[in-house]
Structure 1
Amino acid sequence: MNTNLSPRPTKIIDEEVKWDRSKTIISKTDLKGTILYMNDAFGEASEYNKVELIGEPHNIIRHPDMPKVVFKVLWKALKKEENFHAIVKNLSRTGRYYWVITDFEVERDENGKATGYTGRRKAIPQSIIDKIAPLYKTLLEIEQIKGEKASELYFEAFLKEEVNMSYDEFVVDLFKNEVEKAANQNEEAEPNSKLKKSLNWFFFGEFV
């Protein structure tokens, strides 16, 4: 692979990418995370074009503010062939950032064997970022000073002691709560049955 086509930025800029936040970013990878497909929204948010990213590892857009333990948990779930949700700060080609919530789906062949992953990502409200960013900052600082294992142990303890749920459940619950809060503030609260399905609506455009 000619990595000169898709260089990671050498300078990190504390500035958010301007992109159409109503769009859904979609990418498909093989089982190792190599990008096989990306839609135009992915290009707009990441500031890379298809020629630059197809055939590259998905972690090319990993932002240095992201703790490694989040991706360790993500890959652990995917390797167990479980669908997964995550909140991620991504790095653009110019060194800027964009926050998204991601729905990872395991793709299978006609025999049910896993062949790769489809990721659907959408922008999230600032209220969710304000809640998750301090946790990520703590995890990253522990990782940098005490090592990845210490960060992982703290993360496990945090999920058990403070939220009493898995990371995937934590992300879904956080998103659902913020959607409900926003709906109540707008005096347009939806029935609970719909709120529980809000991620399906969020990524696919309708309640299922």
Structure 2
Amino acid sequence: MKRQIQPSAIERMMREGDFIVSKTNPKGIITYGNPTFIEFSGYSEEELLGSQHNIVRHPDMPRAAFQLAWDTIQSGKEFFGYVKNMAKDGSFYWVFTHITPDFDPQHNIIGYTSVRRCPKRDAVSKVEPVYRQMLQAEQGAGARDAIAAGTKVLLDLLNQTGMSYEELVFSL
């Protein structure tokens, strides 16, 4: 079921000591959400469990950013990034996320754990225009070529800075 939520301009600020934790299966279906995730998302535990994790995806986030995250974690590596999420009531909250794959004894990926922290405000102000540029490129390219167009914007920025994606994230 696709939920039609109207984004609002209301921002909810994470508290400095907050940790939003969630776990998913390999397909991104939520299997666990801690009380802070439930609080910030605005959904009940029952609504979250069994839902795709993109239930909290904000439309301001470029698809290419999530493709990068998925490509990274599906390859068995950890991912770090700044993400704008949307709550059930349309409000939004920024997070600094760290996603790690969970492995079974044979080193097969059996799920993912995401821990989100309060982001640095100056980092958010630096990443927001990059995401806006990526999103504009995606919208201009059309659905079929959107991810490639958004990725190109990010790769061009990385080439200009001479940094890897992870170096860029940690430099903010």
TM-score (norm: length of structure 1): 0.76
- Quote the residue 2:92 is aligned against: 97
**What stretches of structure 1 move > 6 A for 4+ residues in a row?**
none
Whichever structure has more helix as a proportion of its residues is 1
How far apart are the structure 1 equivalents of 2:10 and 2:76? 35
SS in 2 for 1:131: helix
Q: 3-state SS of the aligned residue for 1:33?
A: coil
Larger radius of gyration: 1
- Answer whether contact 2:5 2:88 (CA < 8 A) is retained: no
Within the candidate set 75, 98, 101, 2:70 is matched to: 75
Aligned-pair distance for 1:21?
4.3
Is 2:81 the counterpart of 1:86?
yes
| 1:142 and 2:140 matched | no
Deviations 1:70-108 (A, max 9, x none): 001111111111111011000000001000000111111
Deviation string 1:166-193 (CA, Å, 9 cap, x unpaired) is: 222211222xxxxxxxxxxxxxxxxxxx
**Residue 157 in structure 1 maps to residue 159 in structure 2:** no
Residue 140 of structure 2 is aligned to residue 170 of structure 1: no
CA contact (8 A) 1:8 1:93 kept: no
| Aligned-partner SS, 1:138 | helix
User: CA-to-partner distance for each residue in 1:133-157, whole Å, 9 max, x for gaps?
Assistant: 0111111111111341222222211
For 1:18 and 1:103, how far apart are their aligned partners in 2?
18
Distance between the aligned counterparts of 1:157 and 1:19, measured in 2?
Answer: 31
2:94 is the counterpart of 1:110: no
Distance of 2:71 and 2:90 partners within structure 1:
28
- Cα distance per residue 1:105-137 (max 9 Å; x no partner): 111112222111100001113211111101111
Secondary structure of the equivalent of 1:132?
helix
- 1-side partners of 2:14 and 2:134: how far apart? 28
Task: Tell me the secondary structure at the aligned position of residue 100 of structure 2.
Answer: strand
Provide the aligned length of Structure 1 versus Structure 2: 168
Given that residues 87 and 100 in structure 1 are in contact (C-alpha distance below 8 angstroms), is that contact kept between their aligned partners in structure 2? yes
Q: Which has the higher contact order (CA 8 A, sep 6+)?
A: 2
SS at match of 1:16: coil
Structure 1, residues 59-78: CA drift from partner, whole Å, max 9, x if none?
11100000111001111111
Report which stretch shifted further, 140-149 or 69-78: 140-149
Q: Equivalents in 2 of 1:9, 1:53: separation in Å? A: 16
- CA distance in 2: counterparts of 1:45 and 1:9, whole angstroms: 18
Q: Which runs of 5+ in 1 are unaligned?
A: 175-208
User: TM-score, normalised to structure 2's length?
Assistant: 0.91
Note if contact 1:17-1:92 (Cα within 8 Å) is conserved in structure 2. Answer: no
Q: Percent identity?
A: 35
Query: Structure 1 pair 131/59, CA: closer, same or farther in 2 (3 Å)?
Result: same
Tell me the equivalent position of 1:201.
none
Match of 1:38 among 33, 45, 64: 33
Q: Amino acid of the residue matched to residue 154 of structure 1?
A: V
